[in-house]
Amino acid sequence: MKIFTHKSYAVLTSITALIVLSACSGAPEEKYQTVTLNGNVELQAGPVPAGTIHFRLYTLWFLEGDLRHPLEEIEDFQSDSANFTHTFEYPLHKGTGFAIHAWIDTDDDGVFCTPSVRTDPGGLAWTEETPSSEIDMTITLTDNCRNASWFYPPAP
Amino acid sequence: MKTISIMLASLLVLIGCSSEPPPQWGVEIEGEWILVNDLHTHTGTWDMMPPGFQNRLANRAPDAFRWSFGPVTDWLLNPDSIISQMNNAGIYGAGVFALYSPHTTGLAPNDFVSERVMTHPDRLYGFASFRADQWNLDSAERLAELERAVQLPGMVGIKLAHAHQQIRLDDERIYGVYEISARYGKPMYIHTGSSPNPGTRYEAPYADAAYLEDAIKKHPEAIFILGHTGYDTKNKALTFVDNAIELAVKYDNVYLEPGALGAERGELVIDDFVTRLKNANVLSKVIYGSDGVQMPGYLKEHLENYVAAMERNGYTKEEMRQVLSENFIRVFGGLGTPPNQIAEADTGA
Protein backbone atom coordinates (compact mmCIF):
# COMPACT_ATOMS: atom_id res chain seq x y z
CA MET A 1 0.00 0.00 0.00
CA LYS A 2 2.92 2.28 0.77
CA ILE A 3 4.39 1.58 -2.65
CA PHE A 4 1.05 2.40 -4.24
CA THR A 5 1.00 5.72 -2.39
CA HIS A 6 4.53 6.61 -3.46
CA LYS A 7 3.81 5.71 -7.08
CA SER A 8 0.56 7.61 -7.01
CA TYR A 9 2.38 10.65 -5.72
CA ALA A 10 4.98 10.34 -8.47
CA VAL A 11 2.33 10.00 -11.15
CA LEU A 12 0.34 12.97 -9.82
CA THR A 13 3.50 15.07 -9.69
CA SER A 14 4.29 14.12 -13.29
CA ILE A 15 0.76 14.93 -14.36
CA THR A 16 0.96 18.33 -12.73
CA ALA A 17 4.24 19.01 -14.52
CA LEU A 18 2.72 17.97 -17.82
CA ILE A 19 -0.31 20.19 -17.29
CA VAL A 20 2.01 23.14 -16.71
CA LEU A 21 4.04 22.20 -19.77
CA SER A 22 0.98 21.75 -21.96
CA ALA A 23 -0.41 25.10 -20.84
CA CYS A 24 2.78 26.72 -22.08
CA SER A 25 2.62 25.13 -25.50
CA GLY A 26 -0.06 24.90 -28.13
CA ALA A 27 -0.92 23.42 -31.49
CA PRO A 28 0.37 25.35 -34.51
CA GLU A 29 -1.99 28.15 -35.41
CA GLU A 30 -4.17 27.41 -38.44
CA LYS A 31 -3.71 29.99 -41.17
CA TYR A 32 -5.48 30.08 -44.50
CA GLN A 33 -5.05 32.00 -47.74
CA THR A 34 -8.06 32.38 -50.01
CA VAL A 35 -6.96 31.35 -53.51
CA THR A 36 -8.79 31.56 -56.82
CA LEU A 37 -7.68 28.78 -59.13
CA ASN A 38 -8.13 29.27 -62.87
CA GLY A 39 -7.67 25.90 -64.47
CA ASN A 40 -7.62 24.18 -67.81
CA VAL A 41 -7.67 20.44 -68.46
CA GLU A 42 -6.23 19.05 -71.67
CA LEU A 43 -5.38 15.65 -73.05
CA GLN A 44 -1.88 14.85 -74.21
CA ALA A 45 -3.32 14.20 -77.65
CA GLY A 46 -6.78 14.89 -79.00
CA PRO A 47 -9.90 16.46 -77.56
CA VAL A 48 -10.90 16.11 -73.92
CA PRO A 49 -13.50 13.30 -73.65
CA ALA A 50 -16.91 13.89 -72.16
CA GLY A 51 -17.46 13.17 -68.49
CA THR A 52 -17.34 14.70 -65.05
CA ILE A 53 -13.85 15.89 -64.17
CA HIS A 54 -12.75 15.08 -60.61
CA PHE A 55 -10.11 17.25 -58.96
CA ARG A 56 -8.06 16.90 -55.79
CA LEU A 57 -5.90 19.71 -54.45
CA TYR A 58 -2.73 19.21 -52.43
CA THR A 59 0.05 21.10 -50.76
CA LEU A 60 3.22 19.85 -52.42
CA TRP A 61 5.19 19.15 -49.23
CA PHE A 62 4.14 18.93 -45.58
CA LEU A 63 5.92 18.49 -42.23
CA GLU A 64 9.63 18.28 -41.49
CA GLY A 65 12.18 15.59 -40.65
CA ASP A 66 11.20 11.93 -41.01
CA LEU A 67 7.52 12.82 -41.36
CA ARG A 68 8.12 15.18 -44.31
CA HIS A 69 6.11 13.95 -47.26
CA PRO A 70 4.68 15.10 -50.60
CA LEU A 71 1.04 15.63 -51.55
CA GLU A 72 -0.95 16.48 -48.44
CA GLU A 73 -4.60 16.66 -49.41
CA ILE A 74 -6.47 19.98 -49.22
CA GLU A 75 -9.86 19.22 -50.78
CA ASP A 76 -11.79 17.67 -53.68
CA PHE A 77 -14.20 19.20 -56.18
CA GLN A 78 -15.74 18.42 -59.56
CA SER A 79 -16.41 20.26 -62.79
CA ASP A 80 -18.25 19.47 -66.00
CA SER A 81 -16.02 21.79 -67.97
CA ALA A 82 -12.33 21.57 -68.91
CA ASN A 83 -12.02 25.28 -68.23
CA PHE A 84 -12.93 26.10 -64.66
CA THR A 85 -12.50 28.52 -61.80
CA HIS A 86 -12.49 27.33 -58.21
CA THR A 87 -11.94 29.24 -54.99
CA PHE A 88 -10.53 27.45 -51.97
CA GLU A 89 -8.76 28.07 -48.68
CA TYR A 90 -5.07 27.16 -48.93
CA PRO A 91 -3.86 25.90 -45.50
CA LEU A 92 -0.63 27.80 -44.91
CA HIS A 93 -0.04 25.67 -41.78
CA LYS A 94 -0.10 22.46 -43.82
CA GLY A 95 2.87 22.83 -46.07
CA THR A 96 4.22 24.59 -49.11
CA GLY A 97 3.75 24.46 -52.86
CA PHE A 98 0.66 23.32 -54.69
CA ALA A 99 -0.51 20.38 -56.81
CA ILE A 100 -3.75 19.50 -58.56
CA HIS A 101 -4.75 16.05 -59.76
CA ALA A 102 -7.54 15.56 -62.29
CA TRP A 103 -9.26 12.57 -63.84
CA ILE A 104 -12.23 12.25 -66.17
CA ASP A 105 -15.01 9.77 -65.48
CA THR A 106 -15.39 8.73 -69.11
CA ASP A 107 -17.74 5.82 -68.37
CA ASP A 108 -19.77 7.73 -65.76
CA ASP A 109 -19.45 5.00 -63.11
CA GLY A 110 -18.16 7.33 -60.39
CA VAL A 111 -14.95 5.32 -59.95
CA PHE A 112 -11.48 6.17 -61.20
CA CYS A 113 -11.12 2.92 -63.20
CA THR A 114 -12.17 -0.55 -62.11
CA PRO A 115 -9.93 -3.64 -62.25
CA SER A 116 -11.33 -4.38 -65.72
CA VAL A 117 -12.39 -1.00 -67.19
CA ARG A 118 -9.31 1.20 -67.53
CA THR A 119 -10.48 4.11 -69.63
CA ASP A 120 -10.38 7.11 -67.25
CA PRO A 121 -7.42 9.42 -67.98
CA GLY A 122 -5.59 11.24 -65.19
CA GLY A 123 -2.81 13.74 -64.71
CA LEU A 124 -1.12 16.02 -62.22
CA ALA A 125 0.17 19.60 -62.39
CA TRP A 126 2.27 21.13 -59.66
CA THR A 127 4.30 24.14 -58.61
CA GLU A 128 6.80 24.51 -55.80
CA GLU A 129 5.54 28.02 -55.16
CA THR A 130 2.93 28.49 -52.49
CA PRO A 131 -0.04 30.16 -54.21
CA SER A 132 -1.02 33.71 -53.40
CA SER A 133 -4.51 35.01 -54.09
CA GLU A 134 -4.79 33.72 -57.66
CA ILE A 135 -3.13 30.89 -59.59
CA ASP A 136 -3.39 29.56 -63.15
CA MET A 137 -2.81 25.86 -63.77
CA THR A 138 -3.02 23.60 -66.82
CA ILE A 139 -3.45 19.90 -66.09
CA THR A 140 -2.44 17.56 -68.90
CA LEU A 141 -3.98 14.10 -68.63
CA THR A 142 -1.32 11.64 -69.71
CA ASP A 143 -2.08 8.24 -68.15
CA ASN A 144 -5.19 6.22 -67.41
CA CYS A 145 -5.95 5.12 -63.84
CA ARG A 146 -2.96 6.85 -62.21
CA ASN A 147 -3.25 8.73 -58.94
CA ALA A 148 -1.22 11.73 -57.77
CA SER A 149 1.61 9.73 -56.17
CA TRP A 150 2.21 8.02 -59.49
CA PHE A 151 3.23 11.40 -60.98
CA TYR A 152 4.97 13.14 -58.07
CA PRO A 153 7.76 13.30 -57.19
CA PRO A 154 8.73 12.54 -60.79
CA ALA A 155 11.43 10.05 -61.68
CA PRO A 156 14.83 11.74 -62.14
CA MET B 1 -18.00 8.56 -19.30
CA LYS B 2 -16.19 5.86 -21.27
CA THR B 3 -13.24 8.11 -22.06
CA ILE B 4 -12.92 9.05 -18.40
CA SER B 5 -12.93 5.36 -17.56
CA ILE B 6 -10.19 4.78 -20.12
CA MET B 7 -8.10 7.54 -18.63
CA LEU B 8 -8.57 6.16 -15.12
CA ALA B 9 -7.74 2.66 -16.34
CA SER B 10 -4.58 3.99 -17.99
CA LEU B 11 -3.57 5.71 -14.78
CA LEU B 12 -4.14 2.57 -12.74
CA VAL B 13 -1.96 0.51 -15.02
CA LEU B 14 0.70 3.22 -15.03
CA ILE B 15 0.73 3.12 -11.25
CA GLY B 16 1.82 -0.45 -11.28
CA CYS B 17 -0.91 -2.95 -12.08
CA SER B 18 0.57 -5.54 -14.39
CA SER B 19 -0.78 -8.85 -15.52
CA GLU B 20 1.02 -12.15 -15.38
CA PRO B 21 0.52 -14.84 -18.03
CA PRO B 22 -2.78 -16.60 -17.38
CA PRO B 23 -2.80 -20.17 -16.08
CA GLN B 24 -4.32 -21.27 -19.41
CA TRP B 25 -3.86 -19.61 -22.81
CA GLY B 26 -6.84 -18.80 -24.96
CA VAL B 27 -10.58 -18.69 -24.45
CA GLU B 28 -12.80 -21.28 -22.83
CA ILE B 29 -15.58 -22.58 -25.04
CA GLU B 30 -17.95 -25.06 -23.41
CA GLY B 31 -15.27 -26.30 -21.04
CA GLU B 32 -12.55 -26.55 -23.68
CA TRP B 33 -9.68 -24.08 -24.03
CA ILE B 34 -8.96 -22.75 -27.51
CA LEU B 35 -5.59 -21.11 -28.11
CA VAL B 36 -5.61 -17.53 -29.48
CA ASN B 37 -3.05 -15.60 -31.51
CA ASP B 38 -3.63 -12.02 -32.65
CA LEU B 39 -2.15 -11.24 -36.05
CA HIS B 40 -2.57 -7.49 -35.86
CA THR B 41 -1.20 -5.10 -33.25
CA HIS B 42 0.69 -1.83 -33.42
CA THR B 43 3.60 -0.19 -31.69
CA GLY B 44 5.06 3.29 -32.16
CA THR B 45 5.70 6.58 -30.43
CA TRP B 46 3.75 9.82 -30.18
CA ASP B 47 6.57 11.83 -31.75
CA MET B 48 6.42 9.74 -34.92
CA MET B 49 2.74 10.44 -35.53
CA PRO B 50 1.58 13.31 -37.77
CA PRO B 51 -0.60 16.04 -36.23
CA GLY B 52 -3.87 14.78 -37.74
CA PHE B 53 -3.48 11.34 -36.17
CA GLN B 54 -2.35 12.81 -32.85
CA ASN B 55 -5.51 14.92 -32.83
CA ARG B 56 -7.69 11.89 -33.54
CA LEU B 57 -6.18 10.02 -30.61
CA ALA B 58 -6.29 13.01 -28.26
CA ASN B 59 -9.92 13.70 -29.13
CA ARG B 60 -10.86 10.43 -27.41
CA ALA B 61 -10.16 12.18 -24.11
CA PRO B 62 -12.11 14.95 -22.41
CA ASP B 63 -10.61 18.38 -23.09
CA ALA B 64 -8.93 18.57 -19.72
CA PHE B 65 -7.03 15.33 -20.37
CA ARG B 66 -5.92 15.80 -23.99
CA TRP B 67 -2.45 16.85 -22.95
CA SER B 68 -1.93 13.38 -21.50
CA PHE B 69 -2.25 11.40 -24.72
CA GLY B 70 1.43 11.69 -25.67
CA PRO B 71 2.80 9.86 -22.64
CA VAL B 72 -0.23 7.56 -22.46
CA THR B 73 0.22 6.57 -26.11
CA ASP B 74 3.94 5.93 -25.66
CA TRP B 75 3.18 3.76 -22.65
CA LEU B 76 0.31 1.95 -24.38
CA LEU B 77 2.42 1.05 -27.43
CA ASN B 78 5.49 -0.25 -25.62
CA PRO B 79 6.04 -4.02 -25.81
CA ASP B 80 5.51 -4.66 -22.11
CA SER B 81 2.14 -2.97 -22.34
CA ILE B 82 1.20 -5.03 -25.39
CA ILE B 83 2.23 -8.21 -23.57
CA SER B 84 0.24 -7.10 -20.53
CA GLN B 85 -2.89 -6.68 -22.65
CA MET B 86 -2.25 -10.05 -24.30
CA ASN B 87 -1.92 -11.71 -20.89
CA ASN B 88 -5.10 -10.07 -19.75
CA ALA B 89 -6.93 -11.41 -22.81
CA GLY B 90 -5.32 -14.87 -22.78
CA ILE B 91 -3.66 -14.23 -26.15
CA TYR B 92 -0.41 -16.12 -26.62
CA GLY B 93 1.26 -14.58 -29.69
CA ALA B 94 0.80 -11.37 -31.67
CA GLY B 95 2.01 -9.75 -34.86
CA VAL B 96 3.44 -6.25 -34.40
CA PHE B 97 3.58 -4.01 -37.46
CA ALA B 98 6.17 -1.59 -38.76
CA LEU B 99 4.61 1.48 -40.39
CA TYR B 100 5.72 4.01 -42.97
CA SER B 101 2.60 6.14 -43.40
CA PRO B 102 3.61 9.79 -42.93
CA HIS B 103 0.28 10.98 -44.40
CA THR B 104 -1.85 9.11 -41.87
CA THR B 105 -0.69 7.06 -38.88
CA GLY B 106 3.02 7.91 -38.94
CA LEU B 107 6.16 5.84 -38.62
CA ALA B 108 7.18 2.73 -36.71
CA PRO B 109 10.49 1.93 -38.41
CA ASN B 110 11.71 -1.60 -39.10
CA ASP B 111 14.67 -1.58 -36.71
CA PHE B 112 12.49 -0.08 -33.98
CA VAL B 113 9.92 -2.87 -34.41
CA SER B 114 12.57 -5.58 -34.55
CA GLU B 115 14.07 -4.34 -31.29
CA ARG B 116 10.66 -4.21 -29.66
CA VAL B 117 9.51 -7.70 -30.67
CA MET B 118 12.86 -9.13 -29.61
CA THR B 119 12.08 -8.12 -26.03
CA HIS B 120 9.53 -10.99 -26.13
CA PRO B 121 10.65 -13.08 -29.13
CA ASP B 122 8.54 -16.09 -28.23
CA ARG B 123 5.31 -14.05 -28.25
CA LEU B 124 5.75 -10.95 -30.46
CA TYR B 125 6.32 -11.33 -34.20
CA GLY B 126 7.43 -8.40 -36.35
CA PHE B 127 6.14 -7.35 -39.76
CA ALA B 128 8.50 -5.20 -41.81
CA SER B 129 7.28 -2.38 -44.03
CA PHE B 130 8.60 0.18 -46.49
CA ARG B 131 8.30 3.87 -47.28
CA ALA B 132 6.49 4.58 -50.56
CA ASP B 133 5.78 8.32 -50.66
CA GLN B 134 8.69 9.10 -53.01
CA TRP B 135 8.67 5.82 -54.89
CA ASN B 136 9.63 7.23 -58.29
CA LEU B 137 12.82 8.58 -56.74
CA ASP B 138 13.93 5.87 -54.35
CA SER B 139 12.16 2.57 -55.08
CA ALA B 140 15.42 0.64 -55.53
CA GLU B 141 16.70 1.91 -52.19
CA ARG B 142 13.39 1.19 -50.47
CA LEU B 143 13.17 -2.35 -51.83
CA ALA B 144 16.74 -3.02 -50.71
CA GLU B 145 15.82 -1.72 -47.25
CA LEU B 146 12.76 -3.98 -47.15
CA GLU B 147 14.89 -6.94 -48.15
CA ARG B 148 17.23 -6.14 -45.26
CA ALA B 149 14.31 -5.58 -42.88
CA VAL B 150 12.60 -8.93 -43.47
CA GLN B 151 15.83 -10.57 -42.32
CA LEU B 152 16.03 -8.61 -39.06
CA PRO B 153 15.59 -10.59 -35.83
CA GLY B 154 11.97 -11.31 -35.07
CA MET B 155 10.57 -10.30 -38.47
CA VAL B 156 8.10 -12.86 -39.83
CA GLY B 157 6.07 -10.94 -42.41
CA ILE B 158 5.47 -7.73 -44.36
CA LYS B 159 2.88 -5.04 -43.67
CA LEU B 160 1.29 -2.88 -46.39
CA ALA B 161 -1.46 -0.29 -46.08
CA HIS B 162 -2.08 1.09 -49.55
CA ALA B 163 -4.84 3.43 -48.34
CA HIS B 164 -2.53 4.92 -45.71
CA GLN B 165 0.51 4.95 -48.00
CA GLN B 166 -1.42 6.65 -50.82
CA ILE B 167 -0.83 3.80 -53.29
CA ARG B 168 -3.59 2.31 -55.37
CA LEU B 169 -4.08 -1.43 -54.86
CA ASP B 170 -3.59 -1.91 -58.61
CA ASP B 171 -0.30 0.02 -58.73
CA GLU B 172 2.17 -2.39 -60.30
CA ARG B 173 5.15 -0.22 -59.32
CA ILE B 174 5.27 -2.02 -55.98
CA TYR B 175 5.17 -5.56 -57.35
CA GLY B 176 8.79 -5.79 -56.18
CA VAL B 177 7.43 -5.92 -52.62
CA TYR B 178 5.33 -8.97 -53.47
CA GLU B 179 8.37 -10.59 -55.07
CA ILE B 180 10.37 -10.09 -51.86
CA SER B 181 7.51 -11.61 -49.87
CA ALA B 182 7.55 -14.70 -52.09
CA ARG B 183 11.35 -14.99 -52.19
CA TYR B 184 11.78 -14.84 -48.41
CA GLY B 185 8.60 -16.70 -47.50
CA LYS B 186 7.25 -13.76 -45.49
CA PRO B 187 3.44 -13.52 -45.66
CA MET B 188 2.02 -10.06 -46.33
CA TYR B 189 -0.62 -8.37 -44.23
CA ILE B 190 -2.37 -5.92 -46.58
CA HIS B 191 -4.85 -3.38 -45.20
CA THR B 192 -8.10 -3.41 -47.18
CA GLY B 193 -11.33 -1.53 -46.58
CA SER B 194 -11.39 1.98 -45.17
CA SER B 195 -10.08 3.48 -41.96
CA PRO B 196 -11.20 6.29 -39.67
CA ASN B 197 -7.71 7.81 -39.64
CA PRO B 198 -7.24 11.25 -41.23
CA GLY B 199 -5.38 11.20 -44.53
CA THR B 200 -6.65 7.73 -45.47
CA ARG B 201 -7.75 7.25 -49.09
CA TYR B 202 -11.31 5.94 -49.06
CA GLU B 203 -11.99 5.34 -52.75
CA ALA B 204 -12.45 1.81 -54.07
CA PRO B 205 -9.02 1.56 -55.77
CA TYR B 206 -7.43 1.84 -52.31
CA ALA B 207 -9.98 -0.17 -50.33
CA ASP B 208 -11.46 -2.89 -52.56
CA ALA B 209 -9.28 -6.00 -52.68
CA ALA B 210 -10.60 -6.74 -56.17
CA TYR B 211 -7.98 -4.24 -57.37
CA LEU B 212 -5.30 -6.62 -56.02
CA GLU B 213 -6.34 -9.58 -58.13
CA ASP B 214 -3.74 -9.06 -60.83
CA ALA B 215 -0.97 -8.94 -58.20
CA ILE B 216 -2.33 -12.05 -56.49
CA LYS B 217 -2.43 -13.97 -59.78
CA LYS B 218 1.09 -12.91 -60.73
CA HIS B 219 2.60 -13.81 -57.32
CA PRO B 220 1.26 -17.28 -56.49
CA GLU B 221 4.17 -17.96 -54.14
CA ALA B 222 3.40 -14.89 -52.01
CA ILE B 223 0.75 -15.05 -49.27
CA PHE B 224 -1.72 -12.14 -49.26
CA ILE B 225 -3.60 -11.71 -45.97
CA LEU B 226 -6.38 -9.21 -46.66
CA GLY B 227 -6.52 -7.11 -43.52
CA HIS B 228 -9.99 -6.23 -42.19
CA THR B 229 -11.43 -8.38 -45.03
CA GLY B 230 -12.43 -5.16 -46.79
CA TYR B 231 -14.42 -3.84 -43.80
CA ASP B 232 -15.44 -0.24 -44.44
CA THR B 233 -14.90 0.92 -40.88
CA LYS B 234 -15.34 4.60 -41.73
CA ASN B 235 -18.91 3.94 -42.78
CA LYS B 236 -19.41 0.99 -40.42
CA ALA B 237 -20.40 -1.14 -43.42
CA LEU B 238 -19.32 -4.35 -45.16
CA THR B 239 -18.85 -2.48 -48.45
CA PHE B 240 -15.85 -4.42 -49.81
CA VAL B 241 -16.13 -7.63 -47.75
CA ASP B 242 -17.66 -9.89 -50.39
CA ASN B 243 -14.92 -9.09 -52.91
CA ALA B 244 -12.25 -9.97 -50.33
CA ILE B 245 -14.00 -13.23 -49.49
CA GLU B 246 -14.28 -14.07 -53.19
CA LEU B 247 -10.51 -13.76 -53.59
CA ALA B 248 -9.92 -16.07 -50.62
CA VAL B 249 -12.27 -18.63 -52.18
CA LYS B 250 -10.60 -18.32 -55.57
CA TYR B 251 -6.89 -18.26 -54.70
CA ASP B 252 -4.89 -20.58 -52.44
CA ASN B 253 -2.52 -17.76 -51.48
CA VAL B 254 -5.20 -15.41 -50.12
CA TYR B 255 -6.23 -15.26 -46.46
CA LEU B 256 -8.52 -12.95 -44.49
CA GLU B 257 -8.21 -11.08 -41.20
CA PRO B 258 -11.14 -9.56 -39.23
CA GLY B 259 -9.30 -6.72 -37.45
CA ALA B 260 -11.53 -4.06 -35.88
CA LEU B 261 -14.76 -5.99 -36.51
CA GLY B 262 -14.81 -6.82 -32.79
CA ALA B 263 -14.40 -3.17 -31.83
CA GLU B 264 -17.28 -1.02 -30.70
CA ARG B 265 -17.63 0.48 -34.19
CA GLY B 266 -18.31 -2.98 -35.62
CA GLU B 267 -21.13 -4.03 -33.32
CA LEU B 268 -23.87 -3.50 -35.91
CA VAL B 269 -22.17 -5.53 -38.65
CA ILE B 270 -20.19 -8.23 -36.86
CA ASP B 271 -22.94 -10.87 -36.99
CA ASP B 272 -23.42 -10.35 -40.72
CA PHE B 273 -19.64 -10.45 -41.15
CA VAL B 274 -18.96 -13.75 -39.35
CA THR B 275 -21.97 -15.29 -41.10
CA ARG B 276 -20.66 -14.32 -44.54
CA LEU B 277 -17.32 -15.96 -43.75
CA LYS B 278 -18.97 -19.16 -42.55
CA ASN B 279 -21.40 -19.36 -45.45
CA ALA B 280 -18.54 -18.87 -47.94
CA ASN B 281 -16.75 -21.85 -46.40
CA VAL B 282 -13.50 -19.90 -45.97
CA LEU B 283 -12.88 -20.39 -42.25
CA SER B 284 -9.70 -22.31 -43.04
CA LYS B 285 -8.42 -19.03 -44.53
CA VAL B 286 -9.36 -16.65 -41.68
CA ILE B 287 -6.61 -15.54 -39.28
CA TYR B 288 -7.79 -13.69 -36.20
CA GLY B 289 -6.47 -10.15 -35.60
CA SER B 290 -7.70 -7.16 -33.63
CA ASP B 291 -5.90 -3.98 -34.78
CA GLY B 292 -4.89 -3.29 -31.18
CA VAL B 293 -3.74 -2.14 -28.83
CA GLN B 294 -5.57 1.20 -29.19
CA MET B 295 -6.57 1.59 -25.52
CA PRO B 296 -6.36 -0.34 -22.24
CA GLY B 297 -8.43 -3.51 -22.42
CA TYR B 298 -8.92 -3.33 -26.20
CA LEU B 299 -7.38 -6.73 -27.03
CA LYS B 300 -9.61 -8.50 -24.51
CA GLU B 301 -12.76 -6.62 -25.52
CA HIS B 302 -12.20 -7.24 -29.23
CA LEU B 303 -11.55 -10.94 -28.64
CA GLU B 304 -14.60 -11.37 -26.41
CA ASN B 305 -16.84 -9.61 -28.93
CA TYR B 306 -15.51 -11.68 -31.84
CA VAL B 307 -15.84 -14.99 -29.98
CA ALA B 308 -19.36 -14.06 -28.88
CA ALA B 309 -20.30 -13.31 -32.49
CA MET B 310 -18.95 -16.69 -33.64
CA GLU B 311 -20.92 -18.44 -30.88
CA ARG B 312 -24.11 -16.56 -31.71
CA ASN B 313 -23.81 -17.55 -35.35
CA GLY B 314 -23.31 -21.27 -34.99
CA TYR B 315 -19.55 -21.72 -35.32
CA THR B 316 -18.33 -25.10 -34.12
CA LYS B 317 -15.41 -25.33 -31.71
CA GLU B 318 -13.27 -26.65 -34.54
CA GLU B 319 -14.15 -23.66 -36.72
CA MET B 320 -13.31 -21.27 -33.88
CA ARG B 321 -10.01 -23.05 -33.33
CA GLN B 322 -9.11 -22.57 -37.00
CA VAL B 323 -9.85 -18.85 -36.87
CA LEU B 324 -8.30 -18.10 -33.49
CA SER B 325 -5.02 -19.98 -33.80
CA GLU B 326 -4.69 -22.94 -36.16
CA ASN B 327 -4.59 -20.95 -39.39
CA PHE B 328 -2.04 -18.53 -37.90
CA ILE B 329 0.21 -21.39 -36.77
CA ARG B 330 -0.02 -23.09 -40.16
CA VAL B 331 0.70 -19.96 -42.23
CA PHE B 332 3.56 -18.83 -39.99
CA GLY B 333 5.25 -22.22 -39.74
CA GLY B 334 4.48 -23.06 -36.11
CA LEU B 335 4.76 -19.59 -34.60
CA GLY B 336 2.18 -18.89 -31.94
CA THR B 337 2.46 -22.28 -30.27
CA PRO B 338 3.10 -22.14 -26.51
CA PRO B 339 6.09 -24.25 -25.36
CA ASN B 340 3.95 -26.64 -23.33
CA GLN B 341 1.85 -27.42 -26.40
CA ILE B 342 4.96 -28.09 -28.48
CA ALA B 343 6.07 -30.54 -25.77
CA GLU B 344 2.64 -32.16 -25.76
CA ALA B 345 2.74 -32.53 -29.54
CA ASP B 346 6.25 -34.04 -29.41
CA THR B 347 5.18 -36.66 -26.89
CA GLY B 348 1.91 -37.31 -28.61
CA ALA B 349 0.00 -36.09 -25.57
pLDDT, tens digit, 9 for 90 and up, residues B278-306: 999 999 999 999 999 988 999 999 999 99
Instruction: Please indicate whether, in this complex, the C-beta atoms of B199 and A7 are within 8 angstroms of each other.
Output: no
Residue range B123-131: mean pLDDT, rounded = 98
Residue range B317-321: mean pLDDT, rounded = 98
Q: How far apart are CA B57 and CA B72, in angstroms?
A: 10
Q: How many CB pairs under 8 A join A and B?
A: 83
CB atoms within 10 A of CB B294: 21
Q: Give per-residue pLDDT as tens, B232-279.
A: 999 999 999 999 999 999 999 999 999 999 999 999 999 999 999 999
- Look at A24 and A116; give whichever has higher pLDDT: A116
Fold of A32-151: Immunoglobulin-like (2.60.40)
Residue range A6-31: mean pLDDT, rounded = 55
Is the predicted pLDDT of residue B17 greater than 60, yes or no?
no
* pLDDT score recorded for residue A21: 46
Calculate the average pLDDT of chain B.
93
Q: Give per-residue pLDDT as tens, B73-122.
A: 999 999 999 999 999 999 999 999 999 999 999 999 999 999 999 999 99
Is the predicted pLDDT of residue A2 greater than 50, yes or no?
no
A111 in contact with chain B, both atoms CB, cutoff 8 A: yes
Q: Give per-residue pLDDT as tens, A43-74.
A: 988 999 999 999 999 999 999 999 999 999 99
Sign of CA dihedral B183, B100, B38, B123: positive
Nearest CA in chain B to A28: B51
| A 117-156 residues with CB < 8 A to B | 145, 147-150, 152-156
Instruction: Please indicate whether, in this complex, the C-beta atoms of B50 and A115 are within 8 angstroms of each other.
Output: no
Write b or e for each residue in B117-141: b if 16 or more Cβ atoms lie within 10 A of its Cβ, otherwise e: beebeebbbbbbbbbbbbbeebbee
3-class SS of residue A16: helix
Best residue in A147, A151, A152 to probe B by mutation, most B CBs within 10 Å? Answer: A147
Is the predicted pLDDT of residue A7 greater than 80, yes or no?
no
Q: What are phi and psi of A113, to 5 degrees?
A: 75, 145
Is the predicted pLDDT of residue B6 greater than 70, yes or no?
no
Q: How far apart are CA A114 and CA A64, in angstroms?
A: 35
Best residue in B63, B139, B141, B168 to probe A by mutation, most A CBs within 10 Å? Answer: B168
> Across the interface, which of A19, A68, A113 has its CB nearest the CB of B67?
A19
CATH match for B35-346 among 3.90.1010.10, 3.20.20.140, 3.90.930.12, 3.40.50.1820: 3.20.20.140
- Look at A144 and A15; give whichever has higher pLDDT: A144
* pLDDT score recorded for residue A29: 84
Q: Measure CA B156 to chain center.
A: 13
Q: Give per-residue pLDDT as tens, A65-118.
A: 999 999 999 999 999 999 999 999 999 999 999 999 999 999 999 999 999 999
> Across the interface, which of B15, B199, B214 has its CB nearest the CB of A11?
B15
Q: How far apart are CA B229 and CA B240, in angstroms?
A: 8
State the helix-helix crossing angle for B51-58 and B69-76, rounded to 10 degrees. 90
A8 in contact with chain B, both atoms CB, cutoff 8 A: yes
